């Protein structure tokens, strides 16, 4: 195991020293692969495009993030930025690596949350785009583009985590495989039409379930805050140790997201966006046909009315004369119109 961890440090050293010009790229990729970005950016964008896909992204994100938290409590994975100090790796084979503000996460390292949670949450987006491409494109390579983009992005997220000394390669691989499997299993089973009590009970179950597991392991003598102590000890700058990277911060986010989803879907202010927008022909007013029966009104005699550009819109810009007239007959039978309705005048 020590040799595998040492190989991970060597890989991080190669990424930092051989490709230094990609530093900003890796920082942006790890930001886009952050589980918090799923709640802030991916979920609203997916919901705008498709209601069901948006709900699937949010639901899978909160469930898989909760599972990732529990997995890390049981697997006890070290992170590279503190392992190189605790294991004495620097004294045996000095490595030319350095930390970043995103390196000092306080939770255990196995499996990678960026790869696992993002890989699962982006699965319904990938499948939805793939189904659309399959119906419109005839080329096999074009239909494969969503899957290739999905795999390429997750591979880049994994490499960025190794570059930042946040994860070892085997932790990244475990997160990628677990996330893809969970996304494949959960995407067809997203609860889109459930009662409010379901989402409330789910929120309560996530909160109480994680608390029960934590206190059970604590009672058995396991210190689950060991990773927080090591992160605070070996991080180069104390301000890089963020509170929102602690395990219970993600638990609060997941529990609140589940309850908020239920309240939003059952709120009286909630209105489902129509699937298609009305066309101009549907919205344009059409002249009503004369009704059958004696429902007629006699209009009094109106004088001849002149309209000029000063009194109305510049009709001459559309190729019409600058002024015209029309006369309403003395006794014109027409239908009774409601107030504010449109009267069509044909020139």
* Cα atoms in the Cβ-side hemisphere of radius 13 Å centred on 240: 17
Residue 99 half-sphere exposure toward CB, CA atoms < 13 A: 22
The residues annotated as belonging to the active site are 114, 167
Structure tokens at 187: 């995407």
CA gap 176, 122 in Å, rounded: 12
183 closest CA partner among 110, 125, 144, 255 = 125
Q: Which long-range contacts (CB under 8 A, 24 or more apart) does 332-340 make?
A: 332/298, 332/299, 333/296, 333/297, 333/298, 334/290, 334/296, 334/297, 334/299, 335/288, 335/290, 335/291, 335/295, 335/296, 335/297, 336/295, 336/297
- Owner of token pair 């009503």: 288
Write the DSSP string, 253-317.
Answer: HHHHHHHHHHHHHT-TT--PPPSSPPPHHHHS--PPPPPSSS--EEPPP---EEE-TTTS--GGG
């Amino acid at each position: 195991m020590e040799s595998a961890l040492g190989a991970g440090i060597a890989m991080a050293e190669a990424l930092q020293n051989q490709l230094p010009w990609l530093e900003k790229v890796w920082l942006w990729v790890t930001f886009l692969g952050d589980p918090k970005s799923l709640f802030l950016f991916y979920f609203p964008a997916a919901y705008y495009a498709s209601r069901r896909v948006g709900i699937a992204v949010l639901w899978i994100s909160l469930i898989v993030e909760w599972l990732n938290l529990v997995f890390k409590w049981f697997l006890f994975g070290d992170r590279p930025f503190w392992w190189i100090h605790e294991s004495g790796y620097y004294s045996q084979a000095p490595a030319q690596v350095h930390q970043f503000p995103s390196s000092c996460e306080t939770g255990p390292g196995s499996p990678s949350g960026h790869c696992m949670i993002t890989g699962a949450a982006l699965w319904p987006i990938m499948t939805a785009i793939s189904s659309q491409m399959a119906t419109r494109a005839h080329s096999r390579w074009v239909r494969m583009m969503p899957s290739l983009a999905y795999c390429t992005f997750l591979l880049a997220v994994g490499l960025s985590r190794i570059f930042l000394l946040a994860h070892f390669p085997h932790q990244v691989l475990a997160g990628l495989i677990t996330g893809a499997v969970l996304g494949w299993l959960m995407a067809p089973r997203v609860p889109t039409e459930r009662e409010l009590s379901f989402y409330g009970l789910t929120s309560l179950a996530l909160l109480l379930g994680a608390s029960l597991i934590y206190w059970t392991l604590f009672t058995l003598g396991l210190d689950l805050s060991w990773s927080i102590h090591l992160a605070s000890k070996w991080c180069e700058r104390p301000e890089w140790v963020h509170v929102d990277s602690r395990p219970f911060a993600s638990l609060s986010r997941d529990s609140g997201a589940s309850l908020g989803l239920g309240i939003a879907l059952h709120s009286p202010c909630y209105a489902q966006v129509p699937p298609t927008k009305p066309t101009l022909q549907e919205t344009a007013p059409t002249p009503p046909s004369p009704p059958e029966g004696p429902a007629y009104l006699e209009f009094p005699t109106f004088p001849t009315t002149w309209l000029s550009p000063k009194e109305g819109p510049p009709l001459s810009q559309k190729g019409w004369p600058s002024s015209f007239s029309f006369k309403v007959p003395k006794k014109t039978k027409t239908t009774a119109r409601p107030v504010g309705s449109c009267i069509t005048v044909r020139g």
